[in-house]
Amino acid sequence: MRMLRASCALAFALAVLGGWGARSAAQVEAVDLHLVLAVDVSWSMDPEEQRLQRDGYVDAFRDTAVIKAIQSGPAGRIAVTYFEWAGADIQFMVVPWMLVDGQEGAHRLADQLAERRIGRHRMTSISSALEYARRLLAEAPGIADRRVVDVSGDGPNNSGVAPVTLVRDALLADGVVINGLPIMLKVGREGGQGFGFGQDIAELDEYYARRVIGGPGSFVIPVRTRGEFATATRQKLLQEISWLPAPRVVRVQRLLEAPAPLVDSYDCLVGERNWQRYFLDRGRF
């Protein structure tokens, strides 16, 4: 009996010590943010735009204000991953999950982005990109109170799961915040449709605000000129990384004033319909 009691006491002591060890490890692994950067590389993005987009992230992670924001949280570090996407089955990992806690880590991330080749592929599946981001978050290192998916793109969803809101809502139910960087450089060209395949829409910022982003403090920052890539990317990262609440000023202002019935009636399948119309007009269906 004494041996049994001693064994039980030893087991209890080991369990307690094991529990403290687990908690210590969790504290060591804590990060302030899990950040997934999902970047569009569909054909509607020309090579110069893709390079400007990539360079915007490279410059941002070398920026002293961004590095300071990374160090401003309780843990003083974040976990970041960066992938490129296009059609439903096209997602390419560029930088796997990386812990960044200061200048050295941020510059290492920027260097990897600068060195990696940029792809270019067909179709635009925001829904598949969000699904992929959800899988990445399930594998994220450490423990974070905040999880953010950052989507940049120059057109509406036209392949993969439709409507895109189905995948968005699944992420929001997981407590993930989704922000958007709609790229609107071609708006106004070729009759307002941009690239020529009928895929671009004049109010892509509105589409992103209504059908892509979501969660507390979520926002949209549109890019309307080539010179805005760097400033928009930096501003976006500062808001996502900073421990301070994001200011509302960067939201699409007219959406804040839009009546609820207008929001509810917005066509979330505009990209899919445009793509189908493009092929119907050419007798391919």
pLDDT at res. 20 = 33
Give the count of alpha carbons within 13 A of 99, CB side only. Answer: 14
* pLDDT, tens digit (0-9, with 9 covering 90-100), for 103-127: 999 999 999 999 998 887 778 999 9
Residue 232 has pLDDT above 60, yes or no: yes
Residue 168 has pLDDT above 60, yes or no: yes
* pLDDT, tens digit (0-9, with 9 covering 90-100), for 195-219: 444 456 888 999 999 999 999 999 9
Q: In the beta sheet, which residues pair with residue 211?
A: none
Write down the pTM of the prediction.
0.78
Domains of the chain by residue range: 26-281
Fold annotation for 26-281: Rossmann fold (3.40.50)
> What is d(CA 126, CA 145) in angstroms, rounded to the nearest whole number?
25
Q: Is 98 helix (H, G, I), strand (E, B) or coil?
A: strand
Mean pLDDT of 94-106: 97
* pLDDT, tens digit (0-9, with 9 covering 90-100), for 242-263: 965 544 434 444 443 334 444 4
- 102, 62 in Cβ contact below 8 A? no
Q: What stretches of 161-250 adopt beta strand conformation (E)? A: 177-182
